[in-house]
Structure 1
Amino acid sequence: MITDPVRDDPPPHPSPGTGPALSDKGLRTGSVGLAASVALGLSSVAPAYSIAVTLGFVTLVAGDFAPAALLLGFVPILLTAFAFRELNREMPDCGTTFVWNTRTFGPFAGWLAGGWVVQCATVIAMTALSQVGSTYLLDFLGLHSLADDSLAVTVTAAVVLALVTAVAYRGIQLAAVVQYLLLGLQLIALAGFGIAAFARDGAAAPSLSWLNPFGFDGTGAFSEAVLLCLYIYWGWDALITVNEETTDKSRIPGQAAVISTLVLLATYLFTAFAAISFAGTGTEGLGLGSADNASDVLATLGSPVVGESFAKVVELAVCVSAISALLTCVVGSSRATLSMSAHGALPKSFARVHPRFRTPTTGTVFFGAAAAATLAALTLLSEDFLGDAILCIGLLIAFYYGVTGLACAWHFRRTLRDSTRNLLLRGVLPVVGGLMMLAAFTRSAYDMFDPDYGYTSLGGVGGVFILGIGTILLGAAAALFARTRYPGFFRDGRRTVTEVTVTDE
């Protein structure tokens, strides 16, 4: 564990011309620009990993209309991004959803929907990312026997988590530089794969009919395909947690959120069109309609499309995709809990900031350790249990995105008539996005209740449902307990989140 002294008094603000100022919470302001914000947002989604492990399953459900599912799944994401942008303009706090939902719906909703659910989803995602990144890393190094050994993968994942935690601990500027390199490799690999797939003899010409939203075989297939796509866009909002360290915290994070989601859409559609053009959606051979190819499309098509040598680059891209997302998860989560602590909703230790690196000390180390411990515990319990935990992330995503979309419209309700812009961007679009997310949540919960959904079940109820809904119910109980520990926040939270109550102690 990295240990460093923590100041007991608030850091002084530097005089003009001596460097970037420090925020009220002790973070270094002005250290992240638009490009770095976009890079952090894209990296947190892990685009190479996400499209590799999702496109096949979407194609199993949607066939040639997989690109349409990617496009439709993007709609509520974009509408949610507008909500995040507008809320950040009004309340640029690194606590993001915690602060926004507290201001709008009260401390209980803020602590549960904006804090607990977000952080639980992130920790579970970190277990999946560390496991996948470690497996790919061992395969890339030629250690195939170790890649098939759960103990070796878990140990490697713990080492990877320690390394990304150390990078996050050293500062946001170092993390941004690392993300530039890792993101660049991902985008180059996906672009190379796509260009090569289109150029191969026998590749079909892409068709705009693949974007037809009415081509699905029933509403069930439509809903399932779109729900699958929600997961591959999730994570871009992590960039907003560094809003207090950007050059213009009320404007840049919102711009970066919209830009990053649009770049993701373009990347995913390009890769999907290329893969379908080359392999088709049949159930034989390399066809994307084969269940044998669904778990990793890039691994299946890599060698046939780009050859053995470049296929290793694609494999490395998926590896670094997962690892770069891990890094952004640690960066974002530590700042979210810093805000919660600074506003009196968590122990004061989470508000500690390193005197030189200007990063949250306790929060950074905590999330790295929490992910490692969660992965070890779930692996020891059962690989199936770990699989169900990963599947329940979509439920948690839809829940907190939906609540935040509605929070945007309700918070700005008195200004919606001031202009057409306000009505659309602060009212109509966030409400539509929020309702779509909550509809996805409801449909997901219904599907997950089936004992055949996922890998485990208990008492005739699907394990994914138990873990997803159980996490939310456990969060409600935790919020009730937190009310007894932090009565000031739960009594005056709507007012106190407008000011910092704890600074670097």
Structure 2
Amino acid sequence: MHTSAPPANPLRFKSPARLVAEAGHDRQGHGLKRTMGLFQLICFGVGAIVGTGIFVGLSDSVAQAGPAVVVSFILAALTCVLTAFSFAELGGAIPVAGSSYSFAYAGLGEGAAFLVGWCLLLEYGVSVAAVAVGWSQYVNELLHSLTGHQLPHVLSAGPADGGAVNLPAVLVIALACVLLVRGVRESARATAAMALLKLVILLLFCAIGFSAFRAGNLLPFAPDGLGGIGAGTTAAFFSYIGFDAITTAGEEARDPRRSIPIAILVCIGLVTVLYCAVAVAATGAVGGDRVGGRPAALSYVVNEVTGSAVGGGIIAFGAVVAIASVVLAVLYGQSRILMSMSRDGLVPGVFARVSPRTSTPVAGTLIIGVVFAVPAAFCSLDAVVGLCTIGTLATMAAVNAALMVLRRREPDLPRTFRVPLYPVLPLLGIGCCVYLMYETGWAAWAQFAAFLAAGCALYATYGRRRSRLS
């Protein structure tokens, strides 16, 4: 009598050597191509990070912290830097497409890895949808500066915002999917070009903002005290989401063990300096009270300083390019994570199929694009931004924990980069993540508990029974 194999043990783990050995090809033998160099990885990281968080979310952070938003950006960056060290070590030691999911599989076991992948689906899904909605705002700003007209509200906002469907948000996701399925070389070139352009635009904004800088505009510096700075830090953290996407290029980078750690640390340092400069320039030019809560705040600041809509139009154009590159980079990362989970049997096999013509997971990318386009088109995402933040922080805490476990379990694992001051920095990283998770509030915690419960049920009924780990 035939009996099925017992379900997999959720505590068993996959060794780093096996993760690396199994990477690179689907079950038909079609594989990814190593075409990305260090410069492209850095541009990819900048492309994944710099977008809606600074072009749209700055006003939310300023509304919480006032001019002290610069402190909030530094504190949020500190949390990311502490975890970025762990990503750098693990990304160099385990250069595979699964990123945090694969690191958790090696260090914390299959059950934890599935929940990390589940949280990454939330992180990338909500962030892509939110970024696409922000792109729609700046498309309208750009059209207004060029023609004096905007898209009809019914076609540029979802029902929750008084419209019917957000067509620009759907369009930017569709364009990103088309570019991604054409091949990683084309995607990397487009991302590099867009990353350089948005850096130039933000530096131009800083030059304009600092030309009108008045120290008095920074007072009161922290109108709501430490509580406002803490709330601003949680809001500012959303601006850094995406740096971990660099590690999803582990199977398409030419020298991943060397280039991934360098790319992660360079990106975090560069973005932090840029964010702080933009925050000081914006609040110093017109005052925190006029920046906080204002849509398309950067264009507003430039228009106020120059007395013309031309400068704001240039900033709006930069935002359109910047935000599009985030959609491209995050969709790329999500498709690679699901591809890794599919190889392990934890999600359907369609996500692991690699096209022999383009060497990309075409079917998986298109499915992800359709799924993420629905909330972008119809939903208001304000209510789930806190949930996205808490899920991202939980994933980052898991990466720090996985690093510490692997230091003990795999002391001889080849590491091209090692976290300094170990174990102090990983422990601080976990502590900072837990603090910011607490700051998201009880509503986000309730949403997160329900989301984790759904993930546990999905693993128990599907992933655990179909796991290929023997």
Q: TM (normalized to structure 2)? A: 0.84
* 1:441 maps to which of 437, 447, 450: 437
Matched, 1:251 2:255: no
SS at match of 1:156: helix
Matched, 1:406 2:401: yes
Alignment of 1:184-203 (within 5 A): 184-200=196-212, 203=214
**Match for residue 3 of structure 2?**
none
Q: Deviations over 1:20-67 (max 9, x none)?
A: xx93454444300111111111111234x3113233332333233221
Alignment of 1:264-413 (within 5 A): 264-281=271-288, 283=289, 287-288=290-291, 291=293, 293=294, 295-306=295-306, 307-376=308-377, 378-379=378-379, 383=380, 386-413=381-408
Matched, 1:239 2:253: no
**Match for residue 58 of structure 1?**
61
* 1:131 maps to which of 130, 133, 136: 133
Q: Deviations over 1:184-214 (max 9, x none)?
A: 22111111111112123x633999x97xxxx
Q: Deviations over 1:323-358 (max 9, x none)?
A: 111111111111111111122322222111111211
Matched, 1:89 2:96: no
**Match for residue 5 of structure 2?**
none
SS at match of 1:165: helix
Return the alpha-carbon distance in structure 2 between the equivalents of residues 120 and 228 of structure 1.
17
**Match for residue 152 of structure 2?**
146
The one-letter amino acid paired with 1:231 is: F
The one-letter amino acid paired with 1:301 is: V
Q: Deviations over 1:276-297 (max 9, x none)?
A: 221123x4xxx33x54x3x432
Q: Deviations over 1:442-479 (max 9, x none)?
A: 332xx2x3xxxxxxxxxxxx4x4544332222112111
Return the alpha-carbon distance in structure 1 between the equivalents of residues 205 and 176 of structure 2.
27
Bigger Cα displacement from structure 2, 234-243 vs 305-314: 305-314
Identity %: 23
Q: Is the 8 A contact 2:71 2:229 kept in 1?
A: no
Q: Deviations over 1:371-392 (max 9, x none)?
A: 112334x53xxx4xx3212342
How far apart are residue 417 of structure 1 and its match?
12
Q: Deviations over 1:127-160 (max 9, x none)?
A: 1122221332244234424246425752332232
* 1:120 maps to which of 122, 145, 149: 122
Return the alpha-carbon distance in structure 1 between the equivalents of residues 31 and 238 of structure 2.
30
Deviant stretches of 4+, over 6 Å:
415-419
Return the alpha-carbon distance in structure 2 between the equivalents of residues 374 and 57 of structure 1.
21
Return the alpha-carbon distance in structure 1 between the equivalents of residues 95 and 419 of structure 2.
21
| Distance change >3 Å, CA 415–CA 222, structure 1 → 2 | farther
**Match for residue 19 of structure 1?**
none
Return the alpha-carbon distance in structure 2 between the equivalents of residues 56 and 81 of structure 1.
26
How far apart are residue 228 of structure 1 and its match?
1.5
Matched pairs, number: 432
SS at match of 1:250: helix
SS at match of 2:255: coil
The one-letter amino acid paired with 1:39 is: C
| Distance change >3 Å, CA 218–CA 273, structure 1 → 2 | closer
Q: Is the 8 A contact 1:146 1:152 kept in 2?
A: no
Alignment of 1:29-68 (within 5 A): 29-47=33-51, 49-68=52-71
**Match for residue 231 of structure 2?**
224
The one-letter amino acid paired with 1:185 is: L
How far apart are residue 396 of structure 1 and its match?
1.1
Return the alpha-carbon distance in structure 2 between the equivalents of residues 231 and 405 of structure 1.
19
Return the alpha-carbon distance in structure 1 between the equivalents of residues 131 and 35 of structure 2.
27
Q: Is the 8 A contact 2:42 2:266 kept in 1?
A: yes
Return the alpha-carbon distance in structure 2 between the equivalents of residues 303 and 167 of structure 1.
33
Return the alpha-carbon distance in structure 2 between the equivalents of residues 253 and 206 of structure 1.
40
How far apart are residue 426 of structure 1 and its match?
5.0
How far apart are residue 305 of structure 1 and its match?
2.6
* 1:181 maps to which of 174, 193, 202: 193
Gaps of 5+ in 2: 1-22, 158-162
Q: Is the 8 A contact 2:31 2:356 kept in 1?
A: no
Return the alpha-carbon distance in structure 1 between the equivalents of residues 179 and 224 of structure 2.
47
Q: Is the 8 A contact 1:88 1:250 kept in 2?
A: yes
Q: Is the 8 A contact 2:141 2:313 kept in 1?
A: no
How far apart are residue 248 of structure 1 and its match?
0.7
**Match for residue 472 of structure 1?**
452
* 1:159 maps to which of 161, 165, 171: 171
Q: Is the 8 A contact 2:129 2:373 kept in 1?
A: yes
Gaps of 5+ in 1: 1-21, 450-461, 493-505
Return the alpha-carbon distance in structure 2 between the equivalents of residues 119 and 106 of structure 1.
18
The one-letter amino acid paired with 1:188 is: V
Return the alpha-carbon distance in structure 2 between the equivalents of residues 417 and 221 of structure 1.
45
Q: Deviations over 1:93-133 (max 9, x none)?
A: 101111110111110000112x1110122112111122221
SS at match of 1:353: coil
Return the alpha-carbon distance in structure 1 between the equivalents of residues 224 and 304 of structure 2.
30
Q: Deviations over 1:156-189 (max 9, x none)?
A: 3223222110101111111111112222221111
SS at match of 1:424: coil
Q: TM (normalized to structure 1)? A: 0.79
The one-letter amino acid paired with 1:144 is: Q
Q: Is the 8 A contact 2:137 2:296 kept in 1?
A: no
